[in-house]
Structure 1
Amino acid sequence: MAHALLRPRRTPAADPPSPHTGPTVSTGLLLLISAATGLAVAGNYVAQPLLDLIAGELQLSTVTAGLVVTAAQVGYALGLILILPLGDLFERRRLAIGLLTATAACMLATGAAPNGAVLLAGTLLTALASVAAQVLVPFAVALARPEHRGRVVGTVMTGLLLGGLLARAISGALAELGGWRTVYWIDAALVLAVALLLWRRLPRLHTRAGPGYPALLASTLALFGREPLLRWRAGIGALSLASFNALWTAVVFLLAGPGYGWSESAIGLFGLVGVAGALATPFAGRLADRGLVQTVSGAGTAVLALSWIAIGAGGESPAWLLGGTLALNIAQQSVLNSSQNVVYALRPEIRNRVNSAFMTAFFVGGATGSALASVVWAAAGWTGVSVLGCMLATAAFLLWALERSAARAGRRSPDPTAA
């Protein structure tokens, strides 16, 4: 069954209708895809507000508990480089549904974990399969008209981001009602439900016969050498997510510690602060459609760095922590959306591989930020984490400035979406 589900089609098949003349993705289908991406990635974030609770039940150290976040990022990065390019080889609806089904199965296994080793393995495998979300993003883009690309990316990414944010918020409340394992089981059931709906609603999206799998992976990695703009944007994305994850990894320990003493449900609700960032994503997408991609990128990276001043003061002040986190989330999602609009315009004929290369670098940066935050928290507390986050965000801003300088000096191909 699984073999048939993912069997590549070696005979040429009709391409989907041209986004210039064919039907565009309907609003209902776009919202369904958006919801599916959110549920797919939710399993990668449900553990974040529960780290203290899970550590206590499974007798894990603080550093080991923090590695749950890192395992999710590493698994997702591996899925992006090893699985996502298959969207340029397999029929994409079958690939997306197969990955969603695997995500649900891995979540069930993670929820039954008897120890830390199984928990980390289950988290990594869940994240590996959850790249179904990134198969669906370019799927929606392929059905959209070029002039609507920013809006479509913004809508689908809003669902993806809300999935992670609401997972943090809801998981705390569910854990208090039925334990942390219940969170994984409920999410698995929801993923299976949305997979069934997508099976009924998604159009088939065929890909003509392409290179074999080894050549597919090699061509994906080769994009970094061939596309200078991809390199710039991958670096900016990696540093911005590293800064973002530094906050969300360490803030759980801050809020659960003696200074705050919050419960799991309260820590989860704190994650709702990030909803502002998700809601800002469609706005950033519309600005991109108006040719303001670089304005969004520059302002986003600058605010990302400045937000850490308030976050640092938040070690003892909930108001500063709330304000800084709000700014950080809006800035991060604006940077991501603007970068996606740039890279998706590079090579439409191999968009899954371009997306794979960019998002792999993006989540490798995120995994690095999570791991560094766990170590820095243990060594230097909240002040150390704040310095780390600010340095990473500042590096993202400087990299954006260097990209613009290189463009003006004519050292790379023109950015087709530059403001």
Structure 2
Amino acid sequence: MLLAAVCSVSVATIYVAQPVLAQIGRDLGAAESDLGWIVAAGQIGYLVGLAALVPLGDMLDRRKLIGGQLLLAAVGMLVAAVSPTLWVLLIGLAATGLFAAVVQTTVAFAADLSTLTERGRTLGIVTSGVILGILGARVLAGILADLWGWRSVYATLTLLLVTLHLVVLKQLPAAHRPNRRTYGEVLTSLGRLFREPLFISRGLIAFFLFASFSTLWSGLALPLTAEPWQLSTAQIGMFGIAGLAGALGAAQSGRWADAGGATPVTGAALVLLTVSWLASGQATWSLWLVTVGVIVLDFAVQAAHVSNQTLLTSAYCDRTSSAIGGYMIFYSLGSALGATATTTVYATSGWAGSAFLGACFALCGLLTWALTRHTVTRAAA
């Protein structure tokens, strides 16, 4: 649960800006066209952190590594909280995003602390913390910003990160890596993963999985704030709670993966993901169907994500940090594609076009799974 809390708070620092962009823009006098950089800064920093920092978990004491990165992320949040200009804010958010990659170091640590028969269950619990951070960040930001302004959001996250830094150093076991390698050797090992069929197949599934996920969550506010609903930011944030219910329900998928069902669970999840868009696509006339779609989508994404990570940490148990960090590069690229594509498509084709786009991403993931099922069998052999 402590590792899940680390994941939840760390990943929230990247997504917490989304509901308060307009408020930040008014306060800092930023042009509307520049507001997208507020979200992009954290994502860019996170992507760099995945490639440059997460592999350090394969060569350093992860307890100290996690604690140190939490403290450095807190410094970035503090800079964002007191920033007088947009540029200072972007620097703080980029720095925070860089060290928020501690999420994946934590996931790899959780996998290594687990026995092989309970690894999927453990990853299910810890990655539920990730989903809690992604979805709960929107609700938290909306409430705090309404009460005390957007700066209170970043100040609160600063305090949470510092608290977790202290708890981690006190409570987590030391985790010195048995095979001491240089940073260059670790990065080389990461690069070699991109020639492994199992790694590439799971990565491509993650790419399409999170492109579909991001298509929903980056674009859903557009039809909900328009006619006939005209919902407020706080009301839209409530859909995050529905998504959270679905994601937490998928924690059971880790147990299925432990029982050898990771491959069929992934396939079934991708089918559910595709079907969920039939409901989510009805946002212009039915909020109930949207709620059902959100729950099913988040359940499917979490189930497939946990199954993928269980397979990778089992197949590459000697370099779990590199495997998770590399896998999450696909996640970041897919999320970025979904976020940018959904707003572009919405401008020309409305929410029906965005829903079709999300379903196409899901179908691409399902096709990738179907064409690469044999890679799992070969890896097991």
TM-score range, shorter chain: over 0.9
Q: CA deviation at 1:315?
A: 2.7
Which residue number corresponds to residue 126 of structure 1? 96
- With 206-215 and 393-402 compared, the bigger mean Cα shift is at 206-215
Summarize the Cα distance change of 1:186–1:137 in structure 2 as closer, same or farther, 3 Å threshold: same
Letter of the 1:147 counterpart: T
Q: Which moved more, 1:392-401 or 1:116-125?
A: 116-125
Question: Matches of residues 156-235 of structure 1 in structure 2 within 5 Å?
Answer: 156-208=126-178, 210-225=180-195, 227-235=196-204
Deviation at 1:287, TM superposition (A): 0.9
AA of the residue aligned to 1:306:
V
TM-score of the pair, normalised by structure 2: 0.93
- Look up the match of 2:378: 414
Contact between 2:42 and 2:94, CA under 8 Å: does it hold in 1?
A: yes
Q: Is the 8 A contact 1:74 1:364 kept in 2?
A: no
Task: Tell me how far 1:360 sits from its aligned partner.
Answer: 1.4
Contact 1:97 1:198 in 2 (8 A): yes
Q: 1:415: how far off?
A: 4.0
Moved more, 312-321 or 352-361: 312-321
Once the two structures are TM-superposed, the CA of residue 68 in structure 1 deviates from its matched residue by 3.6
State percent identity of aligned pairs.
35
Q: Is the 8 A contact 2:212 2:338 kept in 1?
A: yes
- 1:232 Cα shift? 0.2
Q: Distance in 2 between matches of 1:177 and 1:245?
A: 28
* Aligned residue in 2 for 1:26: none
Q: CA deviation at 1:298?
A: 0.6
3-state SS in 1 of match to 2:378: coil
State how 1:9-408 maps to structure 2 within 5 Å.
31-58=1-28, 64-208=34-178, 210-225=180-195, 227-404=196-373, 407=374
- Contact 2:250 2:300 survives alignment (8 Å): no
Q: Which runs of 5+ in 1 are unaligned?
A: 1-30
Is the alpha carbon distance of 1:381 and 1:145 closer, same or farther for their aligned partners in structure 2, counting shifts above 3 Å?
A: same
1:311–1:357 Cα change, 3 Å: same
Post-superposition shift, 1:66? 4.0
Contact kept? 1:73, 1:364, Cα under 8 Å: no
- Report the Cα distance in structure 2 between the residues aligned to 1:121 and 1:384, rounded to whole angstroms: 35
TM-score between the two structures when normalised by the length of structure 1: 0.85
For the 8 Å contact 1:170–1:269, the answer to whether it is kept is no
Matched residues in 2 for 1:109 and 1:268: separation? 26
Structure 1 residues 267-276 or 236-245, which shifts more? Answer: 267-276
Can you give the 5+ residue segments of structure 2 that lack an aligned partner in the other structure? none
How far off its partner does 1:67 sit?
A: 4.5
Cα–Cα, structure 1 residues 42 and 230, in superposed 2: closer, same or farther, change >3 Å?
same
